[in-house]
Amino acid sequence: MLLLTCFILSLITYVGADLSLSYLNRQCGPKVYSEPFKCPEFNTDLIRIDVATFYEPISGDCSSECNVIRAYEKKVIYNKEWIMLLDGSAAYKVNALHYKPQCYPGETIVVDGNVPVSLLKDRINFTSEYEYVLKEGSPIFSFLPRLGRRKVQAMTVQEKEFFMFLTLFLMKNNTDYNHENHHKNNEFYDIATDSKLKVEEIDTTKAQQLLDEMYTDAIDMLVETAEVQWNRLCEVANTEKGQFYEEVMAATY
């Protein structure tokens, strides 16, 4: 629990092309709802940490030109239905992009009425393999290095393992992922695992088991973080209304 608390505190420091009702309510004046606020469930079955690229809002001129401008990036928690900023400051209902989808990366979604969002993990195409070296082949006899060397210990990273490493990397503070620079760079894998796969007595089987354990622990922490942040958003919406209140009420009624 202490580790979870430290993780949450370390994070405290805008997320159909048709305008959503919550967006219109905030722009044109809040709608008065007679129904009480009911906090929706945040499904954690498909939860993941990701990096969201937010674009400038879709213009209303209906032109055929692709005027796509990146605005900023934020780490987010995503579950296919909601995007929640990692610091818990806002959460947005996910909508499909119907307006000029060819102008944006595949699987781009829309939040906040007219803001396209592209997620890092949806853009990455990891089709190759990478040999992550765990231990270099040292001389069998240190005093006679020319008499042979031990076999290099390397872990074959395929798509499944890569996204596990990426999740661990994004869970760390102040980590910015660049696919071209990182996916075939040992330093990326070292940072993601704090070099814990490079212990003295290691082999590829043990390394895979340790990676699985680290990934499971990371997802457990992400779930706990999401639940804490979600409950806090619901408490604020119930007492003070605001962005999340409008988002939930517009989606429900």
Query: The tokens 């969002």 sit on which residue?
Result: 117
Q: Which of 175, 135, 128, 168 is nearest to 153 (CA)?
A: 135
Length of the chain: 253
∠ Cα 247 248 249 (to 5°): 95
Please count the other Cβ atoms lying within 10 Å of the Cβ belonging to residue 136. 10
Concatenate the DSSP letters of all residues of 51-102 into one string: EEEEEPPPPSS--SS----EEEEEEEEE-SSEEEETTSS-EEE-EE--SSGG
Q: Which of 176, 177, 164 is nearest to 217 (CA)?
A: 164
Q: Which of 72, 83, 47, 81 is nearest to 176 (CA)?
A: 72
Average of per-residue pLDDT across 206-231? 97
Average of per-residue pLDDT across 116-140? 85
Query: Residues 190, 169: contact at Cβ < 8 Å?
Result: no
Q: Which of 2, 8, 77 is nearest to 43 (CA)?
A: 77
pLDDT one-digit tens code per residue, 137-188:
555 545 555 554 567 788 999 999 999 999 999 999 878 899 989 999 999 9
How would residue 23 be classed by pLDDT, with cut points 50, 70 and 90? Answer: low
Quick check: 221 pLDDT over 90?
A: yes
Is this structure's pTM higher than 0.85?
Answer: no
How would residue 18 be classed by pLDDT, with cut points 50, 70 and 90? Answer: very low
